[in-house]
């Protein structure tokens, strides 16, 4: 497919210097035959995905092809293969027809640093459609270098460059071409100089961090770093085209500063370390910090505070655990609990305890959280989403399918350190804790994944989409409780199919509460024809069938009594 005349048979000593491709897609034949030469248009970003440099050549099988910008330079200057000299790690030398030479600096990887002329559209852009429609006179292009490429987001040729996350690939090639033709090359500082800067940065940071107070030491280090950054980014880069490295000196400063802080911590704050180490054995780091600020929190007892309590459990975990060996079960469970815990902490929750596969957490203490009910709802939804990702991974590993049930309730509880003088746990106690635990289990009877009480729903009703499930009296409770299935955040919405199902479900539930058992059963079964796995509809269809044969006693208040936990 590629024109051999567009390739170069460089000496084997440079093999491995430039990127190697086993195969490459060429242009369609008509364009290839009409072209004066062919260059590789691939973009080669750094490991972090940002394009700062470009290899000048690409090796394909036993031939070497110039990248697009380099190929255009070679053709424009009339440079042949014998006029190209390559010194790895130093330069690519082009010998021109007039005997002059052009040295293009390259690194050990054969890449040239791109000296970008500016942000997006630093070069003149002309719509290809305007050219086809002959809105641009042909003479406009005389004596100009024209690159044809895509810049619209939908055409998927936008790349990340140091100053923009979306930069057209064609303009990257234009900057490569401009860098070479203008001779305005960037150069990296020698390794020996960088190593010296790293050493000096570390020494200066260590002296300041150990001899000055943390405040003044931190300010002094920050000022020195900003001066160095200014010299690097403006003086050296803008005026001298010299890339003065920031990353390694910055890492040296951070490493030495952290080491100095740790050293001071070990030598000057021993008592604080002792207290902190003691409490960290059984409470979260966030609570430790609060205890250090307010020692009263470490005392036995607690206070009454409104929180949202969270319980989750793996459905059928006993069966799952019996089917796995211990060396499989433990890492499997740890991976699951780690992922769930990270989500709780992400939204400001406190993990109270793990009981096997079960997770208990609460939101709103010890650090006050005004929107604790919404935070708990977000955690529940994100857990289900994350679990979906984990299920795919576990399925590929041959591990069992896992589904979790979650219960939420909001209200006043007693929160604080409880236990003996030798062993305390920061936890919550109260009626709402028991209710959240019961709701987690009640999910099983309705075939739902996330259940919340009316207490929680009242605080988040403007932010979430729910489905009313029932008015129930859970075991151990005298008061009836309205319960809901949490489906999504209003900001994210649900599909039209789900929205239609919710409307049908609401109508069916109204029929049920009006004691129209036959019509209600038919309405729920219509939902099941569309979604055979809809748990609440299954529950109500069976309940309506039973009420047709065994109607509830009068007066009937619509409350369903749970006889199991």
Predicted confidence at residue 43, as pLDDT, reads 87
Whether omega before 43 lies within 30 degrees of 0, making that bond cis, reads no
Q: Are strands 350-355 and 404-419 parallel, antiparallel or unpaired?
A: unpaired
Predicted confidence at residue 246, as pLDDT, reads 73
Global pTM value: 0.52
Q: Are 110 and 195 in a shared domain?
A: no
Domain assignment present for residue 261? The answer is: yes
Q: Are 103 and 139 in a shared domain?
A: yes
Q: Are 87 and 208 in a shared domain?
A: no
> Alpha-carbon distance 51 to 48, whole Å?
9
> Alpha-carbon distance 341 to 338, whole Å?
5
Q: Of the residues 220, 252, 268, which one is the last residue of a structural domain?
A: 268
Domain assignment present for residue 235? The answer is: yes
Q: Are 46 and 159 in a shared domain?
A: yes
Cα separations in angstroms, 525 against 351, 468, 469, 494, 507: 40, 18, 16, 22, 13
- Cα distance from N-terminal residue to C-terminal residue, the chain: 71
Predicted confidence at residue 337, as pLDDT, reads 93
Q: Of the residues 182, 200, 234, which one is the last residue of a structural domain?
A: 182
The 10s digit of each residue's pLDDT in 133-145 is: 888 888 888 888 8
Domain assignment present for residue 12? The answer is: yes
Q: Are 76 and 193 in a shared domain?
A: no
Query: Nearest CA to 308 among 385, 404, 378, 403?
Result: 378
Q: Of the residues 160, 182, 204, which one is the last residue of a structural domain?
A: 182
Tokens of 149: 């490429």
Question: Ranked by mean pLDDT, which of 195-199, 230-234, 420-424 comes out on top?
Answer: 195-199
Predicted confidence at residue 220, as pLDDT, reads 82
- For residues 428 and 362, the answer to whether their CB atoms sit within 8 Å is yes
Cα separations in angstroms, 553 against 283, 475, 529, 547, 560: 51, 20, 31, 10, 12
Burial class (CB in 10 A: 0-12, 13-18, 19+), 541: buried
Domain assignment present for residue 281? The answer is: no
Radius of gyration of the chain (CA): 34
Mean pLDDT of 419-444: 87
Q: Are 409 and 341 in a shared domain?
A: yes
Domain assignment present for residue 215? The answer is: yes
Query: Residue 419 sits in a domain of what CATH number?
Result: 3.30.70.1230
Q: Are 135 and 210 in a shared domain?
A: no
Predicted confidence at residue 368, as pLDDT, reads 80
Q: Which domain holds residue 71?
A: 4-182
The number of distinct structural domains making up the chain is 3
Tokens of 417: 């350190």
Alpha helices of 61-109 — where are they, by DSSP H?
68-77
Least confident of 48-62, 216-230, 268-282, 437-451: 268-282
The 10s digit of each residue's pLDDT in 372-408 is: 999 999 999 999 999 999 999 999 998 999 999 999 9
Predicted confidence at residue 294, as pLDDT, reads 66
How high is the mean pLDDT of the chain? Answer: 85
Q: How confident is the model at residue 539 (pLDDT cuts 50, 70, 90)?
A: very high
Q: Are 229 and 375 in a shared domain?
A: no
Q: Are 405 and 426 in a shared domain?
A: yes
> Alpha-carbon distance 213 to 420, whole Å?
40
> Hey, what's the torsion of the CAs at 459, 464, 470, 471, to 10 degrees?
10
The 10s digit of each residue's pLDDT in 509-524 is: 999 999 999 999 999 9
């Amino acid at each position: 497919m590629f024109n051999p005349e567009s390739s170069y048979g460089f000496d084997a000593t440079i093999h491995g210097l430039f990127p190697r491709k086993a195969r490459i897609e060429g242009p369609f034949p008509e364009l290839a035959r009409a072209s004066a030469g062919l260059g590789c248009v691939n973009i080669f970003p750094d490991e972090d995905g940002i394009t700062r440099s470009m290899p000048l050549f690409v090796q394909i099988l036993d031939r070497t092809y110039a990248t697009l910008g380099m190929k255009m330079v070679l053709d424009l200057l009339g440079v042949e293969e014998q006029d190209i000299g390559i010194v790895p790690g130093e330069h690519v030398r082009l010998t021109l027809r007039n005997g002059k030479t052009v040295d293009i600096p390259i690194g050990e990887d054969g890449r040239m640093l791109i000296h970008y002329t500016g942000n997006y559209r630093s070069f003149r852009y002309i719509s290809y459609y305007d050219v086809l429609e002959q809105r641009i006179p042909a003479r406009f292009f005389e004596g100009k270098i024209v690159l044809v490429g895509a810049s619209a987001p939908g055409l998927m040729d936008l790349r990340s460059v140091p100053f923009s996350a979306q930069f057209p690939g064609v303009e990257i090639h234009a900057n490569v071409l401009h860098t070479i033709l203008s001779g305005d090359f960037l150069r990296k500082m020698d390794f020996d100089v960088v190593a010296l800067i790293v050493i000096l940065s570390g020494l200066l940071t260590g002296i300041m961090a150990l001899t000055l107070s943390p405040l003044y030491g931190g300010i002094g280090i920050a000022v020195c770093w900003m001066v160095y950054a200014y010299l690097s980014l403006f003086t050296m880069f803008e005026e001298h085209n010299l890339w003065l490295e920031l990353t390694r000196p910055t890492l040296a400063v951070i490493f030495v500063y952290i080491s100095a802080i740790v050293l001071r911590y070990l030598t000057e704050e021993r008592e604080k370390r002792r207290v902190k180490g003691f409490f960290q054995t059984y409470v979260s780091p966030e609570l430790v910090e609060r205890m250090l600020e307010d020692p009263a929190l470490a005392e036995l007892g607690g206070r009454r505070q409104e929180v949202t309590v969270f319980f989750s459990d793996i459905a059928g975990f006993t069966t799952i655990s019996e089917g796995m060996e211990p060396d499989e079960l433990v890492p499997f469970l740890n991976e699951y609990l780690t992922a769930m815990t990270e989500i709780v902490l992400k939204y400001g929750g406190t993990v109270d305890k793990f009981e096997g596969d079960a997770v208990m957490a609460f939101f709103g203490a010890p650090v006050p959280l005004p929107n604790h009910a919404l935070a708990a709802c977000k955690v529940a939804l994100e857990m289900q989403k994350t679990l979906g990702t984990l299920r795919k991974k576990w399925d590929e590993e041959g591990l069992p399918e896992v589904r979790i049930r979650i219960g939420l309730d909001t209200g006043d509880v007693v929160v604080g350190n409880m236990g003996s003088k030798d062993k305390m746990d920061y936890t919550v106690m109260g009626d709402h804790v028991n209710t959240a635990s019961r709701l987690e289990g009640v999910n099983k009877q309705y075939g739902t994944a996330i259940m919340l009480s009316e207490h929680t729903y009242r605080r988040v009703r403007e932010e979430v989409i729910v489905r009313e499930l029932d008015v129930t009296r859970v075991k151990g409770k005298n008061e009836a409780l309205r319960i809901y299935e949490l489906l999504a955040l209003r900001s994210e919405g649900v599909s039209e199919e789900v929205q239609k199902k919710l409307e049908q479900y609401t109508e069916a539930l109204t029929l049920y509460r009006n004691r129209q058992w036959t019509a209600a059963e038919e309405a729920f079964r219509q939902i099941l024809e569309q979604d055979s796995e809809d748990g609440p509809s299954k529950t109500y269809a069976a309940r309506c069938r039973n009420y047709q044969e065994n109607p509830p006693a009068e007066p009937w208040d619509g409350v369903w009594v749970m006889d199991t936990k």
